[in-house]
Structure 1
Amino acid sequence: MRKWITFPTQQGTISRQAHADLPKEGIYEREIGRNGFFGPATHMHHSHAPTGWIDWQGELKPRAFDLNNLVNTEYQPATSSPWSAPLILFNDHCKYRMWHCVENMAKLARNADGDELLFVHQGSADFFSDYGHMVLQEGDYVVIPRATMWRIEPQKPLQILMIEATNDSYQLPEKGLLGAHAIFDPAMLDTPLLNETFKAQQGEIEWQVEVKRHNQISTITYPFNPLDAIGWHGDLSVVRINWRDIRPLMSHRYHLPPSAHTTFVANRFVICTFVPRPIESDPQALKVPFFHNNDDYDEVLFYHQGNFFSRDNIEQGMVTFHPAGFTHGPHPKAFAAGQQSLKTFTDEVAVMLDTRDALHIASAATSVENPNYVDSWKTK
């Protein structure tokens, strides 16, 4: 058994409430926290922005990748197999891919390495699995349990963010005092149907299944379509929810940490979803993400759509990667706009991955990196 060392104390000029009531103009708050936003924390007050660097040498730096530039390149050819989608970031517990799919999958897929999470960035499709059929639309999350057989028939060309929970499973976050129906009601989770569309694709036609295990592909051939279920019952299934069904937590007087927007949880990482919401209206409340040290987690943001109010020169389809170990926060223009209350509503939609273990950058990501991103916090 062990517990954090705690000794609440204070020194110098402070605010009594984190992320609000800063004592005077020109004060910058920085949160130093452990275990994401759930462990002990200290709120430092500085006379300079903690991101005010003028030079950066070495590999530990904020990075940005424009995944739009991957399409139809050697790294991301249009492919009907999800196992051909290029790695962007990875570690032993997570694999982060972008899949460009324009043709019907010629083979079924089966991931024996862990649960798969799909986020439909663009396009629409018919989705078939052991559990039945559903139609996927832009903005859908789809959780595919480990070892499920599935395939996709695009209706419109697809860009799909794939996040594998390697040797793990996706679960829902504990919502505590909020109750089980906050953020989204579990009743909003859709499951596939054994409908006429599903039955129509069954038959005595040879099909193959590409099974991924230990990152190696084995191919199993059947003289029939193995998606031949005639019924099922239980509480394990493919599930889907669209970001538009998420009702975000809000406080008009306090800027909530990213953890308040958690959508799915694995053992070594979390997935959060930022959706449109009102910006804090209290004049004393911080109105943009606060400067913080997230020293136990790497932070990845995929920008789906909208205007990303805490970032400059970020477009949909881009990814930012902030490794653990340095202070990060809003860009200077965004911080100034927040202080002036220039916006009352944020219309951004973004998917965040926070990993407990360091992520590695794959060559596909390096090929579309913006090397000047680290300089975007400079004011001169």
Structure 2
Amino acid sequence: MKNYISFPRIEGTTSRQAHADLPPGTYERELGKEGFFGPATHMYHKHPPTGWTDWEGPLRPRAFDLTRLEGAQASPWDAAEILYNASVRMRLWRAPRRMDHLVRNGDGDELLFVHTGRGDLYCDYGHLAFRAGDYVVLPRGTMWRLECAEPVTALLIEATGSTYKLPDKGMLGPHAIFDPAILDVPAIDDAFRAQQTEDEWKVRIKRRNAISTVTYPFNPLDATGWKGDLTAVRVNVEDIRPLMSHRYHLPPSAHTTFVADRFVVCTFAPRPFESDPGALKVPFYHNNDDYDEVLFYHAGDFFSRDNIHPGMVTFHPCGFTHGPHPKALQAAFTPRKPATDEYAVMVDTRDALEIGQGAASVERGDYVESWKPPVAKAAE
């Protein structure tokens, strides 16, 4: 157990409840440890904490328009690298219509998030249909390939050296957010048996980020059955039932979908706005000084961001204050509609991320300017 210095105090003019009933004319900022799970202090400021006029240095917030990445890649190992560190590797893959080889990741579990398209996945465990909005977890060492019925774009999130697990849901119980019984697994069905040919197949294996190729005179996806509790699993974002509080804006960690060593994957799904008139309706300003924060925007209207469209990624390195854009701040207590309308994937990493060549080639250099208040037009 960590022995934090813990002695809550109040100094000056504050709210008695975090994220609600802010003193008039103030802006709340949370300084927190351990990604919203550790000690925290709430500051109340006269000005928006993101009201900068200039920014120099590498810590600036970044945005990448991944829709500008062109061309399909025959293998996920050829996918454009977005962000990475020793514990996680994120790539954007535009899959071919039909993979002519199998792949196996020896570096860690692979999480496929299907941004667009649909098709069929064949792996050691059988056949699994997939569609846009699906998460598919593939345990390390699984052989697999895709056949796409529609063009597929997928975000690949490798848990380097570790395993994907479900989060501890505490007093909510194991069936909150989504019931584990909703997880689908591959089937040894007619489609799987039909692809068990005696033709030559190659398996491209990634280990220590280098590729080895093994050739078989038959399709090695030739299982006749299996039993156990290690397998690929699938869940769609539409099956996720987000936590809600009508009187309190919940932190992003409340929406955790998967956990791995030194990072978490969260899902933002549509939910009603808080109905209490004093409760914040948008994400609060915060210093997440222990985690880098990444958001992949999948679908909908991203209420806390401006000029962001599906297929983009934002990256907020730890160490500076961030929060809603000015337009979203105008609806901090009076939302323009009764519910959010967005699906987004968030990856929070305990260690600093590096920017891959794929992301660097499609960066929106003006993103840091998006927190500046809009300039009022002069009267004609």
How do 1:43-58 residues align onto structure 2 when only pairs under 5 Å count?
43-58=42-57
**DSSP-derived class of the 2:331 partner:** helix
**DSSP-derived class of the 1:161 partner:** strand
CA distance in 2, matches of 1:260, 1:8: 23
- Offset at residue 2 of structure 1 (A): 4.5
**DSSP-derived class of the 1:272 partner:** strand
Which of the residues 325, 329, 344 maps onto 2:323? 329
CA distance in 2, matches of 1:62, 1:142: 29
1:4 correspondence with 2:15:
no
**DSSP-derived class of the 2:191 partner:** helix
**DSSP-derived class of the 1:348 partner:** strand
Which of the residues 265, 274, 277 maps onto 2:271? 277
- Offset at residue 345 of structure 1 (A): 0.7
CA distance in 1, matches of 2:52, 2:23: 24
Letter in 1 for 2:59: L
Letter in 1 for 2:30: E
Conserved? CA contact 2:97–2:149, under 8 Å: no
Conserved? CA contact 2:61–2:317, under 8 Å: yes
Q: Which residue of 2 aligns with 1:139?
A: 133
CA distance in 2, matches of 1:180, 1:146: 25
Letter in 1 for 2:124: D
CA distance in 2, matches of 1:293, 1:233: 46
Question: What TM-score, normalized to structure 1?
Answer: 0.97
Letter in 2 for 1:49: P
How do 1:281-296 residues align onto structure 2 when only pairs under 5 Å count?
281-296=275-290
CA distance in 2, matches of 1:338, 1:4: 32
Letter in 2 for 1:306: G
Q: Which residue of 1 aligns with 2:39?
A: 40
CA distance in 1, matches of 2:335, 2:69: 37
Question: What TM-score, normalized to structure 2?
Answer: 0.97
Q: Which residue of 2 aligns with 1:307?
A: 301
CA distance in 1, matches of 2:73, 2:276: 49
CA distance in 1, matches of 2:289, 2:194: 52
User: 1:174-208 CA distances to partner (integer Å, 9 max, x unpaired)?
Assistant: 00100010000000100000000000000211111
Which of the residues 152, 165, 168 maps onto 2:162? 168
How do 1:255-270 residues align onto structure 2 when only pairs under 5 Å count?
255-270=249-264
1:181 correspondence with 2:180:
no
- Offset at residue 30 of structure 1 (A): 0.3
CA distance in 2, matches of 1:283, 1:340: 8
Conserved? CA contact 1:79–1:103, under 8 Å: no
Letter in 2 for 1:55: D
Conserved? CA contact 1:93–1:166, under 8 Å: yes
Q: Which residue of 1 aligns with 2:16?
A: 16
1:194 correspondence with 2:188:
yes
Conserved? CA contact 1:120–1:140, under 8 Å: yes
How do 1:338-377 residues align onto structure 2 when only pairs under 5 Å count?
338-377=332-371
CA RMSD after TM alignment: 0.8
Letter in 2 for 1:127: L
CA distance in 2, matches of 1:251, 1:2: 28
- Offset at residue 114 of structure 1 (A): 0.2
Conserved? CA contact 2:281–2:334, under 8 Å: no
- Offset at residue 80 of structure 1 (A): 2.1
Which of the residues 132, 140, 154 maps onto 2:148? 154
CA distance in 1, matches of 2:197, 2:328: 57
What runs of 5+ residues in structure 1 fail to find an aligned partner?
73-77
CA distance in 1, matches of 2:124, 2:280: 47
User: 1:81-134 CA distances to partner (integer Å, 9 max, x unpaired)?
Assistant: 110001110001100000001321111000000000000000001100000001
**DSSP-derived class of the 1:337 partner:** coil
Q: Which residue of 1 aligns with 2:26?
A: 27
CA distance in 1, matches of 2:97, 2:127: 18
Matched length: 374
Q: Which residue of 2 aligns with 1:75?
A: none
Conserved? CA contact 1:102–1:156, under 8 Å: no
Q: Which residue of 2 aligns with 1:129?
A: 123
CA distance in 2, matches of 1:119, 1:269: 16
1:204 correspondence with 2:179:
no
CA distance in 2, matches of 1:130, 1:274: 31
Letter in 1 for 2:101: K
User: 1:39-91 CA distances to partner (integer Å, 9 max, x unpaired)?
Assistant: 0000000010000000001111101000000122xxxxx12211000111000
Letter in 1 for 2:91: R
CA distance in 2, matches of 1:364, 1:140: 23
Question: What percentage of residue pairs aligned between the two structures are identical?
Answer: 66
Which of the residues 299, 314, 317 maps onto 1:320? 314
CA distance in 1, matches of 2:14, 2:301: 33
Q: Which residue of 1 aligns with 2:378?
A: none
What runs of 5+ residues in structure 2 fail to find an aligned partner?
376-380
Conserved? CA contact 1:271–1:354, under 8 Å: yes
1:237 correspondence with 2:236:
no
User: 1:143-192 CA distances to partner (integer Å, 9 max, x unpaired)?
Assistant: 00000000000110100000000011100000010001000000010000
